[in-house]
Each structure stands twice: as structure tokens, then as C-alpha cells.
Structure 1
């Protein structure tokens, strides 16, 4: 597994192509249907994915130039862009997704090697510029699932599922509101421990299923708990 931005660009291209194929299948009724995100239609999700690409372009520009370029003009402007873009016709959504993805690809290609060492200011605080390509891949894969159009966590590439699980587990281990748990991959003796192991049930399943449950994209019904009992209640993800 890697978060090296240059090694992940191919994965971003593949994830983008998969998302575009799904988006190309939508008609007006499909876009108006509910997504997995409360209060958002599929159109909202697609508008967000496009604007997220432009937000990452802004952060890459900031890293490349050394200037303070915000990801979005403001939280209000971000929300307004998503809302106004949500009800566009299918062809407009598809064109916007393609063009914004191309802008992201161009911004990555324009990065000098030393610029990847910069720190940029995201909506949730400082982040290493070297993590931006991973951040874009995560947006594409998770929001593809959010479209509720047949793409599931089980369809994630294996390396992505493992990488996401490790990231989420590591972030939960640093939080005081996360319940203790031991995460065990199916068919593996490898474990991730969150909190006090002595008080922790063991939750077992495939890496993508564990990850999707931790980030609130799955109820975890295919996971098993030892000793027998309810699944822990993880806190809200980012």
C-alpha cells in the first residue's frame, strides 16, 4: 500500500473512469433519486465530486506556487455550488465531471517534485500536499458507493480497501470518542487495535466491509463480533 501521489495517479484515472461510466447511465429521474447521503440526491453527489476536483486543484496550486489558495471560496459558496449544480441535465453533469477530472490531472502533472513537501489548508485543517492524490481517490471511491447505483465497497480495488481501513482505524485510535475494538481481516491474522484491547470485542470481516462500516457506508451486517454481541458504535467519520 502506498500514498505516493505519483504512484496513485493511475488508480485515480481508473476510479474516475468507473465513476464516469456510472454517471453516463443516469437519466433525469436517476439523478433526482436519493443517494446514500441524507438529504442529497445523486445529482448532489455528482456536483460535489466535480467541485471537489476543483477544490483539490486549488490546493495543488497553493502547494506549487506557495500562495495561500483556499480549497473553496467559503463553506457557503461550496454548499451553494453543490446545490445549484445538483439539478443539471445528465449531459451537463457528465461534461462537468470529465472537465473537472481533467483539470485535476493537469494540476498533478504540473507539480514540481519539491512542491509535494508543502502543507496546504483543507476544509478540515492542514494536510500534506503529498496526500492530495490519495484524498481525491478516496473521494471518488467512497462517493461512487454513495450513488447507490450498484457500485459497492466489495467492488473497491483490494489495495484501496486496505488503505482506507488503515487510515480510518489510525484516525479512530487517536480519538477519545471511539469505542475499543479489534479489527481482524477475514483469512488473516493481521489486526488493528483501537483503544484498550482488554475491553475490546473483535470485529471480523473483509477489509472493504470493515472500512465501509467504520465510515458509515454499511450497517456491518456481514461482519462478525467476538464475543457474540452488538457491533461497536464508531463515531462519525470526517
Structure 2
């Protein structure tokens, strides 16, 4: 069962980790390439701030973003800012999101995200937690998939395995981590079942498009090509 209050607390912890790490950078670091193609560190920081506001919009029943073009323009506009401006924006936008999340609400209601995607309001805090954790890794400043909290890693694998479940381009695929946790995904494409084994970090990296899967053990076929997130 999703516990939105627990996930809001986890968002706060993850954001504090991120802010502490980013505060140790300098202004020159903002323009440095991140691990995401075409994005600098500043692009990721700008995206994280605007995403917090966007998810606040979702909880308020408004459009997440006015448009995809407006979202991209806001990120490009804010990316070159000085580090202290990024830090202040991240703190303020996070505070707004968590304050909205702390208000009494019907957490069983359905909310709309981008591109017509819908979800339970109770899952919105976890979606924000995912943004903070994975993009902290994407910054390329010493926080990697192995440093992610175990609970987050396993729940994000749960989420992504569900997302790709039945996908028409992914054959039936079984996942197994070195801790013994198992998942199934895919099933909409011919072939399989394929078995994929590895550390939880490597499984998450492959599912989330952060690693190529070369460290995974694959039997029953080749490693499936996953659609972009």
C-alpha cells in the first residue's frame, strides 16, 4: 500500500542529500555536461525545481505543464543561472511541493500527469522521490545507483517493471536481483521468456536507461531493448 506521508518524508531526505552535494559545487560546475545527453548540470537543477512546481500543479488539479514546449523553454532559460540561485529555487520549490502534500486531501483520487498519463494522487510523492534520486545520479557528482536507498531502488524497479509489463515491444522477461527479489515485465512481444539477473543497482540502471545492461546475466535470449521512459 502506498503511504504518501512516508514518501513525502523520503522526498525531504533525498532533497537534503541533493542540496548538500550541490552546495559543494561552484558556478563553473553549472555549465559542465551532466550524464544526460545534451543537458548540463544546470539543466538538471532547473528541471528538478520546475518539476516540483509541476507536481504541485498536479496535486492542485491543474495542468502539470502548460505544454511540452513551455517546459523545455523554462529549463533552457533557467539552466545558466548561478549556483546560489539554483539552490534557492530548489529549496523553495521543494518546500512548496511538500507543503501542498501535507495538506488534508483525498489521496485516492485520480490525477493527470504529462501526455494524458493518470495515476493515484498517493503515488505523486513517490514520483517526486524518483525524480530527485535519479537526477542526483545524473548530475555525475559522486552519487551513483549503488548509493540509492535500498527501499527506493526496489520500489523503482517495481514501478518500471509494471510500466513495461505487457509492452508490445518487450518479450516476457523475468528479473532477479542478487538479494533474491524477483520481478516480471514485458510479455507483449514474441519471444521469451528471457531471464535477467544482476545487482539491484544494475537492474535499475538498465530499466531506467542509465546503464546499458552489459553487467547483467541474460539467459533464454538477448537482453530486451526497452522503450524510452
Q: Normalising by structure 1, report the TM-score.
A: 0.88
**Mapping for residues 1-238 of structure 1, pairs under 5 Å:** 3-62=2-61, 69-112=62-105, 115-124=106-115, 125-188=117-180, 190-195=182-187, 199-226=192-219, 230-237=222-229
1:181–1:200 CA contact under 8 A, matched in 2 = yes
**In structure 1, how many angstroms separate the alpha carbons of the residues matched to 2:190 and 2:70?**
44
Evaluate the alpha carbon distance shift between residue 179 and residue 47 of structure 1 in structure 2; reply closer, same or farther with a 3 A threshold: same
CA positional deviation for 1:197: 10
**In structure 1, how many angstroms separate the alpha carbons of the residues matched to 2:127 and 2:185?**
24
Which ranges of structure 2 fall in alignment gaps of 5 or more residues? none
CA positional deviation for 1:102: 0.6
Tell me, what secondary structure is at the counterpart of 1:99?
helix
Q: Report the aligned-residue RMSD.
A: 1.9
Deviations 1:131-190 (A, max 9, x none): 110110011111111111111111110011110111111111121111332211114163
1:119–1:129 CA contact under 8 A, matched in 2 = yes
Equivalences, count: 227
2:167–2:186 CA contact under 8 A, matched in 1 = no
Single out whichever of 6-15 and 117-126 deviates more from structure 2: 117-126
1:12–1:137 CA contact under 8 A, matched in 2 = yes
**In structure 1, how many angstroms separate the alpha carbons of the residues matched to 2:64 and 2:47?**
13
1:56–1:136 CA contact under 8 A, matched in 2 = yes
**In structure 2, how many angstroms separate the alpha carbons of the residues matched to 1:98 and 1:189?**
35
1:165–1:208 CA contact under 8 A, matched in 2 = no
Tell me, what secondary structure is at the counterpart of 1:199?
strand
Deviations 1:95-134 (A, max 9, x none): 100111111111111133xx21222221132222111101
**In structure 1, how many angstroms separate the alpha carbons of the residues matched to 2:83 and 2:26?**
6
